[in-house]
Every structure is written in structure tokens, then in C-alpha cells.
């Protein structure tokens, strides 16, 4: 089938910020694709959200599973209007204390996962009249915060994700695809913890705005619906 609704795919959408982005866009009558590593969790979350949301299984670390998912989305929806690269894992040690294997795991999920997913869904995004790629980054990935220490592997992955955003936005400048990074802030999720100052609704707000607002500029880093410094 070809959806007359705007079609959005969100990775890591079975919980936290990703789930809330999905919920808010479903409330705006978007066709939401809930992507997660666990198929049952993807389907369950889609059922919870309702509005014909669709649960899709793939692992951002597994190139073949992304390829298969892209084929399935093309068969079912014909195009993609928005991709939200949200799937991520974290750490809290200084960069020289993190085990090398853990650094590789974090980079493979947070950075390479976003690159893989963007690569294989880009042809579907190019079929949209107004496509967007929204990379969920972090204040911790800003150059201005790197000297603060801690969260070494996570910071490194988000610096890389921001660089990828700039590069991709430049290469897609003459196409219909806009690319953004955004920081949700410190949000009360499984990763952020219960002491975080921001609600999950607030954390999702800017992503929903970037998906729906007409006058947003590609290649920028956003927080609270405003451009911030890299």
C-alpha cells in the first residue's frame, strides 16, 4: 500500500524518547514505523501507540537486517518522509578508562548505526517531496562540553554523529532531503535516569518540530527548537 499520511521511521522506538516521538507523531495522524531490535517489542509498542502504527524489526548494528527492513518498508509504504536515528547506548567513564571493546560497541550503535540506517533508507527518503533525517545527538557531543570529562565513548559517538550530519547535509544540499542533529537535553529515561530534569515529552518535542515544521534549515544542530553551537 502507499500511505497518504506522512511516513516516519524511528529507531529504538520501543522505549524512552524514541517511543515518545512515535506517540506524538501518531497523534498528528502520521504513519509511524516503530523500529526495534526485538520484533515483539516493536509490535507491542506499535499496538500501544495505535493509529495504525507498524512494528518493524531490525538491528542498527546489522547491515543485512537494515537492508531487509528497507525493502519491506518500500513494499508496504513506497516511500519514507522522515527518518529519526534515535537508537543509542551509553557509558559514563572517562575516555581513557572505558574498555576498548565498549568504545567500539558504542560507536557501532550510535554512529555507525545511524550511518548504516541513513544509507539504506536514503533511496526511500528521496521519493518524498520533503524528506528529513533527524539524528538524535546530545549536549555531550558539543565541542564546548568535551573538556568536562565523563561519558567518553558516548561523547565521542555524538561528536561523530554531528560531523556526519554536517557532511550528509552538504552532500544532499541539492536534493529534497534535509538533515539535522538535535539534543533532547538530559531526559528522564532508562539511560538518563530518574534524576534528569527533563520529561520525556520535552525531550521529544524538538524532534517532532523538526519533522513537521516547514521552515527549518538543513545542516544545523538544534535544541528546544533553536539552533545551538556545535
Q: Where in the sequence numbering do the catalytic residues fall?
A: 154
Dihedral sign, Cα of residue 203, residue 110, residue 35, residue 196: negative
Give the up-direction half-sphere exposure of residue 113: CA atoms within 13 A in the CB hemisphere. 28
Distance CA 20, CA 30 (A): 13
Measured CA angle at 34 (ends 67, 227), to 5 deg:
95
| Distance, C-alpha 164 to centroid of its chain | 13
Query: What pairing do the DSSP bridges indicate for beta strands 221-223 and 226-228?
Result: antiparallel
Distance CA 154, CA 10 (A): 20
Minimal CA–CA distance to 125: which of 162, 178, 66, 64?
178
Amino acid at each position: 500500500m502507499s500511505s497518504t499520511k506522512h511516513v516516519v521511521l524511528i529507531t529504538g522506538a520501543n522505549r524512552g524518547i524514541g517511543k515518545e516521538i512515535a506517540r506524538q507523531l501518531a497523534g498528528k495522524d502520521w504513519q509511524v514505523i516503530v523500529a526495534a531490535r526485538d520484533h515483539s517489542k516493536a509490535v507491542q509498542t506499535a499496538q500501544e501507540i495505535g493509529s495504525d502504527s507498524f512494528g518493524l524489526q531490525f538491528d542498527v548494528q546489522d547491515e543485512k537486517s537494515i537492508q531487509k527492513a528497507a525493502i519491506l518498508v518500500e513494499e508496504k509504504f513506497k516511500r519514507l518522509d522522515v527518518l529519526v536515528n534515535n537508537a543509542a547506548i551509553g557509558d559514563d567513564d572517562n575516555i581513557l578508562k572505558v574498555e576498548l571493546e565498549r568504545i567500539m560497541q558504542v560507536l557501532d550503535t550510535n554512529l555507525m548505526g545511524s550511518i548504516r540506517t541513513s544509507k539504506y533508507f536514503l533511496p526511500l527518503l528521496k521519493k518524498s517531496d520533503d524528506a528529513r533525517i533527524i539524528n538524535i545527538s546530545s549536549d555531550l557531543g558539543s565541542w564546548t562540553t568535551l573538556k568536562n570529562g565523563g561519558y567518553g565513548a558516548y561523547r565521542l559517538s555524538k561528536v561523530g554523529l554531528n560531523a556526519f550530519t554536517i557532511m550528509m547535509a552538504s552532500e544532499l544540499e541539492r536534493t529534497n532531503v534535509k538533515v539535522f542533529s538535535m539534543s533532547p537535553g538530559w531526559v528522564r529515561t532508562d539511560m538518563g535516569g530518574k534524576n534528569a530534569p527533563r520529561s520525556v515529552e520535552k525531550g521529544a518535542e524538538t524532534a517532532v518540530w523538526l519533522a513537521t515544521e516547514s521552515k527549518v534549515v538543513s545542516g544545523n544542530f538544534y535544541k528546544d527548537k533553536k539552533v545551538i553551537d556545535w
